[in-house]
């Protein structure tokens, strides 16, 4: 009780803070990054290196009310088929710009619902990707799977294409909550999909579950997590539902008076956290859990854990290229985002040029602060020696940053000659502590609650 009061006093239940999957965050991207800049950054990738590729499929058979992703509903395959042809054209543009001998260390298909593609479209798109940029040895090819939108023929095509990791969205198994968020997906359907995946040789499984949903209680969370544990996923993301109906209009279908209070959200997360820890999962960063053998757990143990737009990752690639409408790329020089509207994206690609609409070129202290924030989000600590050796920052200036953070969160941090560390009891404040190293205007709308 005393800890909760202290967290409340520091603003945990009131603050709106970024998830820090990038720095600066996407709301700070500007229109001064265009297709010419993107093309220049692509051409500067080191020949013979490995990169990551994200493919965005912004279509769903139904639009779940809780989702704030860039998606559109379709009951017909025609717009999906046309979109895949545009993706192939973008891949061809990319191939023409890439230096020689580039391979993929990671390939991820997200959405939307990538598994609404027919088996023929899956083979067509996967073939276009790997013909342009081959998969590296031991590459990871992951796909977001909707248990309501999958079958043996599509799984055959994905397995043949090299998929070796699947990510299954769960949210919550309670039927009342599913009705409230517009996502009907039974435990039986989820279990059947996971059995199908394993029967097709896909042994690495991720799952997503949400806390902070309408009508959710610790008892309901306990039952949903226990059901999920019976399916033995390798890693689980426990995300906080962000209610932002002013950004995602479909969320207005969810009654705000049915949502748990911020204090209850913390209890829901702690309920899930304890269940995963009791079952032998390792805690990864602020919201992931992984079996000890999983790549995320190994990366955490060896200091290689990183953070990107998909959350936590063990991907070593310096370059992540996003293709498709609204997809974001990250280069050593900055970020570039494709046009969010599918129509604008399609128009640009069909016109023979990249669809970059906005982004950010790193300048000033961007890379320094990005690393400070990533270190906190991944490891809950900042190594002073690492920062001083990697960045042109004066010791006095770094110490001043540490001192200001320490003053803002009294008793929550440990500052020493080795650096700065978040105390265990203060980990719920991690995003807020990271925010203290953010030099950008934080009044931008759209950030989610701290817990």
Helix (H) / strand (E) element for 336: namely strand 334-338
pLDDT value of position 445:
47
pLDDT value of position 310:
85
- Cα dihedral 224, 211, 142, 49, rounded to 10, equals -150
Contact 231, 190 (CB under 8 A): yes
Distances (CA, A) of 391 to 366, 372, 394, 397, 420: 11, 11, 9, 12, 17
**CA–CA separation, 135 vs 333, rounded Å?**
24
pLDDT value at 446 more than 80: no
- The dihedral of CA 354, 355, 357, 363: what is its sign? negative
Could you tell me how far CA 11 lies from the centroid of its own chain? 25
* Residues 217, 220, 226: CA angle, nearest 5 degrees: 135
At 88-120, the pLDDT tens digits run 999 999 999 999 999 999 999 999 999 999 999
Phi then psi dihedrals of residue 287, to 5 deg: -155, 15
**CA–CA separation, 232 vs 276, rounded Å?**
11
Token representation of residue 387: 């920062």
For the chain, give the percent of residues with pLDDT over 70: 99
- What SS3 class is residue 27? helix
Q: In the β-sheet with 381-383, what is the strand arrangement from edge to edge?
A: 381-383, 419-422, 413-416
At 329-354, the pLDDT tens digits run 999 999 999 999 999 999 999 999 99
Token representation of residue 253: 């279908």
**CA–CA separation, 72 vs 417, rounded Å?**
52
Higher per-residue pLDDT: 85 or 449: 85
Half-sphere exposure of 70 (CA within 13 A, CB side): 17
pLDDT value at 431 more than 70: yes
Higher per-residue pLDDT: 169 or 13: 169
Q: What single-letter DSSP state applies at residue 198?
A: H
At 381-413, the pLDDT tens digits run 999 999 999 999 999 999 999 999 999 999 999
**CA–CA separation, 183 vs 93, rounded Å?**
37
Over the chain, what is the mean pLDDT?
94
Q: Which residues contact 115 (CB under 8 A, 6 or more apart)?
A: 143, 144, 145, 146, 149, 150, 154, 158
pLDDT value of position 447:
66
pTM of the model: 0.95
Q: Which residues contact 65 (CB under 8 A, 6 or more apart)?
A: 181, 182, 183, 250, 251, 253, 254
What's the Rg (C-alpha) of the chain?
Answer: 22
């Amino acid at each position: 009780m005393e800890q909760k009061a202290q967290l409340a006093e520091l603003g945990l239940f009131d603050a709106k803070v970024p998830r820090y999957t990038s720095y600066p965050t996407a709301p700070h991207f500007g229109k001064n990054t265009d297709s010419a800049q993107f093309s220049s950054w692509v051409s500067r990738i080191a020949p013979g290196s490995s990169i990551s590729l994200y493919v965005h499929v912004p279509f769903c058979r139904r639009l779940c009310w809780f989702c704030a992703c860039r998606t559109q509903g379709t009951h017909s395959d025609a717009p999906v088929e046309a979109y895949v042809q545009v993706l192939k054209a973008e891949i061809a543009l990319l191939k023409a710009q890439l230096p020689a001998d580039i391979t993929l260390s990671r390939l991820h298909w997200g959405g939307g619902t990538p598994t609404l593609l027919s088996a023929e479209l899956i083979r067509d798109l996967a073939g276009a990707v790997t013909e342009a940029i081959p998969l590296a040895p031991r590459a990871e090819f992951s796909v977001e799977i909707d248990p309501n939108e999958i079958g043996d023929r599509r799984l055959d095509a994905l397995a043949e294409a090299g998929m070796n990791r699947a990510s299954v969205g769960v949210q919550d198994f309670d039927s009342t909550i599913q009705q409230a968020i517009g996502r009907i997906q039974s435990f039986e359907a989820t279990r059947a999909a996971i059995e199908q995946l394993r029967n097709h040789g896909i042994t690495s499984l991720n799952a997503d579950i949400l806390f902070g949903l309408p009508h959710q209680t610790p008892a309901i969370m306990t039952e949903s997590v226990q059901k999920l544990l019976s399916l033995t996923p390798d890693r689980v993301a426990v995300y906080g539902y962000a209610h932002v109906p002013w950004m995602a209009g479909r969320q207005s279908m969810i009654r705000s008076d049915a949502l748990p209070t911020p204090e209850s959200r913390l209890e829901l997360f702690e309920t899930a956290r304890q269940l995963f820890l009791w079952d032998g999962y390792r805690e990864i960063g602020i919201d992931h859990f992984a079996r000890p053998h999983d790549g995320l757990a190994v990366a955490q143990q060896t200091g290689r854990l990183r953070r990107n737009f998909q959350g936590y990752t063990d991907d070593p690639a310096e370059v992540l290229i996003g293709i498709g409408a609204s997809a974001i790329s990250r280069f050593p020089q900055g970020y570039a985002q494709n046009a969010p509207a599918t129509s604008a994206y399609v128009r640009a690609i069909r016109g023979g040029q990249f669809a970059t609409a906005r982004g950010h070129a790193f300048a000033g202290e961007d890379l320094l602060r990005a690393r400070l924030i990533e270190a906190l989000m991944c490891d809950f600590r900042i190594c002073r020696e690492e920062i001083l050796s990697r960045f042109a920052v004066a010791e006095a200036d770094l110490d001043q940053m540490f001192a200001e953070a320490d003053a803002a969160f009294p008793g929550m941090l440990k500052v020493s000659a080795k650096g700065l560390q978040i105390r265990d009891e203060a980990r719920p404040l991690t995003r807020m502590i990271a925010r203290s190293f953010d030099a950008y205007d934080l009044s931008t709308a759209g950030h989610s609650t701290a817990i």
